[in-house]
Amino acid sequence: MKLPSQFYKPLAVGAPDPLREVPVRLERMIHFIPPHIEKIRSKVPDLISQVDVLLGNLEDAIPADAKDAARSGFIELARGNDFGDTGLWTRINCLNSPWALDDITQIVAEAGNKLDVIMLPKVEGPWDIHYLDQLLAQLEAAHGVTRPILIHAILETAQGVKNVEDIASASPRMHGISLGPADLAASRGMKTTRVGGGHPFYGVLSDRGADGDGFGRTLFQQDLWHYTVAKMVDACASNAIKAFYGPFGDFSDSPACEAQFRNAFLQGCVGAWSLHPSQVDIAKRVFSPDVEEVKFALRILEAMPDGTGAVMLDGKMQDDATWKQAKVIVDLARLVAAKDPDLAGAYGL
């Protein structure tokens, strides 16, 4: 185990100092685009103003014969646009694939100073993070990258879930973790064919009625991802990094997408992936705090200026713990307000 005194030292001479804290940024949606498609690249200037994070996807969903074009398309769009306060990320191919090394070396060499975060798929344990951490430090030093590129892991194998706490604490480069429900379902042997969301057969049956006939009873659908999201949120929160819901594959079912994102938001996630333009608005709606909640949270902070003691508001007890909850909501609302003037007005901020 590495000594605490070594944890924040650069891993290569000339690499930038690791960050001590994940930068405070609004990241309600990580918007995926396939960078090998010219028409999509031409939309990037518009997308930059609409999304919080833009991600060039190089991994699954990019055909094997388009992997090189996706990588060079990503480098072209990274170099050719100004991203302002919108995050620029890429999802590279997994470490045991034939493409990962070229993804990492070419992108850091040619766009290292534009890139905020590398999303690493199929992370099995801290060893995957250590490998990428060391390689990034060497490449940053070699190519004069001045800000450390952060790592975001996808939690999408049974072994990764088992090791999630060690993954979250593996390096000061860790930005956060996303749930990858499609690969995770396959890895676990779950009997589904969906990308995220619920399943009609996964539920709890209401009790048998007095007649005991067993018919006409309701199956209350349960959230298949509750356990994993909770485990991921605890691993992230205890290491001061961010948790995200991943993809929701049924673009025709916006209410189900919204419900799934909202469960993740309430459990502690800060954002989700958007794979389709319609999901950008869903994520904005879900991962921006509710106006009435913000107003009530502001009243709590106002009623307890130093955050201690107990007061009653609308018949509800408030104390140090609800003050902290209120602060989480108000801090997020301030970040949203800085980007969204309409919500700033609605929140009264």
Binding residues (CB under 6 A) for ligand GLV: these are 60, 154, 156, 180-183, 195, 246-247
CB of 240 to ligand GLV, least distance (A): 24
The answer to whether the CB of 164 falls within 8 A of the CB of 133 is: no
C-beta closer to Mg ion: residue 244 or 323: 244
CB of 105 to ligand GLV, least distance (A): 23
C-beta closer to ligand GLV: residue 156 or 223: 156
Contacts of 294 (CB under 8 A, 6+ apart): 329, 330, 333, 347, 348, 349
CB of 177 to ligand GLV, least distance (A): 12
CB of 182 to ligand GLV, least distance (A): 3
Pairwise CA distance, residues 303 & 301, whole Å: 6
C-beta closer to ligand GLV: residue 128 or 140: 128
Task: Give the distance, in angstroms, between the CA of residue 228 and the centroid of all CA atoms in the same chain.
Answer: 14
CB of 183 to Mg ion, least distance (A): 4
C-beta closer to ligand GLV: residue 261 or 347: 261
The answer to whether the CB of 297 falls within 8 A of the CB of 325 is: yes
Structure tokens, 220: 């209350």
CA distances from 344 to 52, 89, 324, 335, 340 (A): 16, 27, 21, 9, 6
3-state secondary structure of 54: strand
C-beta closer to ligand GLV: residue 55 or 297: 55
CB of 182 to Mg ion, least distance (A): 5
Task: Count the alpha carbons within 13 Å of 328 in the hemisphere toward its beta carbon.
Answer: 13
CB of 77 to ligand GLV, least distance (A): 21
Instruction: Give which of Mg ion, ligand GLV, none residue 223 binds (C-beta under 5 to 8 Å, depending on kind).
Output: none
C-beta closer to ligand GLV: residue 141 or 195: 195
List contacts with Mg ion (CB under 5 A). 156, 180, 183
CB of 55 to ligand GLV, least distance (A): 11
C-beta closer to ligand GLV: residue 11 or 154: 154
Instruction: Give which of ligand GLV, Mg ion, none residue 247 binds (C-beta under 5 to 8 Å, depending on kind).
Output: ligand GLV
C-beta closer to ligand GLV: residue 155 or 335: 155
C-beta closer to ligand GLV: residue 190 or 311: 190
The answer to whether the CB of 34 falls within 8 A of the CB of 67 is: no
Instruction: Give which of ligand GLV, Mg ion, none residue 110 binds (C-beta under 5 to 8 Å, depending on kind).
Output: none
Instruction: Give which of ligand GLV, Mg ion, none residue 198 binds (C-beta under 5 to 8 Å, depending on kind).
Output: none
Structure tokens, 142: 């070699």
CB of 181 to ligand GLV, least distance (A): 5
Contacts of 28 (CB under 8 A, 6+ apart): 52, 270, 271, 272, 283, 284, 286, 287, 288, 336
Residue nearest to Mg ion (CB): 183
Contacts of 74 (CB under 8 A, 6+ apart): 35, 56, 58, 90, 107, 111
- What does the DSSP assignment read for 140-178? HHHHT--SPPEEEEEE-SHHHHHTHHHHHTS-TTEEEEE
Pairwise CA distance, residues 9 & 205, whole Å: 54
Instruction: Give which of Mg ion, ligand GLV, none residue 132 binds (C-beta under 5 to 8 Å, depending on kind).
Output: none
